[in-house]
Structure 1
Amino acid sequence: MIVILLIAGALIFAISMIFIRPGVKKLVWVFIGLILSVGSVVVLTLNYNTFLGMKEVSKTQTYPLTSSVHGQHVLSYQQLGTKNERVYFYATNPLQQKLAKTDPSTGSVKIKHNSKMNQVKITRVTRVYRSEEMKLLFSNGVPNHQFVSQNYEFRLMSGWKLKQVTTQGKKG
């Protein structure tokens, strides 16, 4: 919709500059076209840069955590580059064959020890439009439910350890 307002403003500005005779009527139409065009560009730029009209919504889910290595109390990880960049492998079901993994490029990982039970809490943050009017105005620019980040919090009981692995994929 904002693009339609931008095009309409540009057309009003151009048509009034070309076809309307000089006078107050011409100044009013030129001013309306200019305000629509410049205002649309400013609002469109604010939407792309600061996500004008959107708010962040987080959804948290908690799952039971089982060991990523059969028969041991271990949460395994693979080192990527620096000491802060790790991919953690986890399972939420003891019968799960393929392990789930974290993505260090999209969020953060926290590990808490001495919990009452083993859990993984996953918080997914997305951007949604504040209202239907904002959605109507900007729906062609930024999609609704745009992914922002996904954060993981592992809560481990005492006795569980972190173990570095070189390759991972199946539970074993």
Structure 2
Amino acid sequence: MIVIFLIAGALIFAISMIFIHPGVKKIIWVSIGLILSIGAVVVMTLNYNTFLGMKKVSQTQTYPLTSSVKGQHVLAYQQLGTKNECVYFYATNPMQQKLAKTNPSTGTAKVTHNSKMSQVKITRTYRVYRNDGLRILFSNGIPNHQFVSQNYEFRLMSGWKLKKISVQDKKS
């Protein structure tokens, strides 16, 4: 819809500059076309850069945590480079064959101890338009329900340990 305003403003500006004779009427129509065009470009830029008209909403889900290593109470992780970033390997079901893993590029992971129950709390954040009017206005720009981040909070009972694994451990 905002693109329609941009095109309409450009057409009003061009047509009034070419076909309307000089005078107050021409100045008014040229001004309307110019304001509409520049306003549309500014609003489109703000939507693209600062997510104008959008708000963040979060969805939180909590799952029971099952050990990454059978027979032990362990949460396995792998260090990435020299930074503090880690990939955590976890399971939420004892019958789960393949371990799920965190993605440090899309969010953060936090580990706390001495919880009553071992669990993982996953919080996903999305951007959504504040109302239907803004969604219609920017329908050709940023999509509604756009993924922003995913954060993990591992709550471990006492007795659980963190185990660092290397690439060789994963292959075997």
Q: Which whole-Å CA distance do the structure 1 matches of 2:96 and 2:83 have between them?
A: 28
Question: Is 1:98 matched with 2:89?
Answer: no
Question: Which residue matches 2:48?
Answer: 48
**Cα 1:169–1:21 shift into 2, 3 Å:** farther
Tell me the secondary structure at the aligned position of residue 76 of structure 1.
strand
**Cα 1:89–1:73 shift into 2, 3 Å:** same
Question: Which residue matches 2:75?
Answer: 75
Q: Which whole-Å CA distance do the structure 1 matches of 2:49 and 2:160 have between them?
A: 44
Question: Which residue matches 2:34?
Answer: 34
Tell me the secondary structure at the aligned position of residue 82 of structure 2.
coil
How many residues matched? 171
CA RMSD of superposed structures (Å)? 1.4
- Any gaps of 5 or more consecutive residues in structure 2? none
Say if 1:98 and 1:169, in contact at 8 Å, map to a contact too.
no
Q: Which whole-Å CA distance do the structure 2 matches of 1:30 and 1:68 have between them?
A: 68
Question: Which residue matches 2:84?
Answer: 84
Moved over 2 A (4+): 167-170
Question: Is 1:125 matched with 2:90?
Answer: no
Question: Which residue matches 1:136?
Answer: 136
Q: Deviations over 1:74-112 (max 9, x none)?
A: 000011112411100000000000000000011111111
Q: What amino acid maps onto 1:69 in structure 2?
A: V
Tell me the secondary structure at the aligned position of residue 156 of structure 1.
strand
Question: Which residue matches 1:61?
Answer: 61
Q: Which whole-Å CA distance do the structure 1 matches of 2:16 and 2:83 have between them?
A: 63
Question: Which residue matches 1:6?
Answer: 6
| Identical positions, percent | 79
How far did 1:159 drift? 0.7
Q: Which whole-Å CA distance do the structure 1 matches of 2:9 and 2:133 have between them?
A: 20
TM-score (norm 2): 0.96
Tell me the secondary structure at the aligned position of residue 88 of structure 2.
strand
Question: Which residue matches 1:146?
Answer: 146
Q: Which whole-Å CA distance do the structure 1 matches of 2:49 and 2:154 have between them?
A: 33
- Any gaps of 5 or more consecutive residues in structure 1? none
Tell me the secondary structure at the aligned position of residue 113 of structure 1.
strand
Say if 1:99 and 1:169, in contact at 8 Å, map to a contact too.
no
How far did 1:169 drift? 6.5
Q: Deviations over 1:29-68 (max 9, x none)?
A: 1000001000001101110111000000000000000000
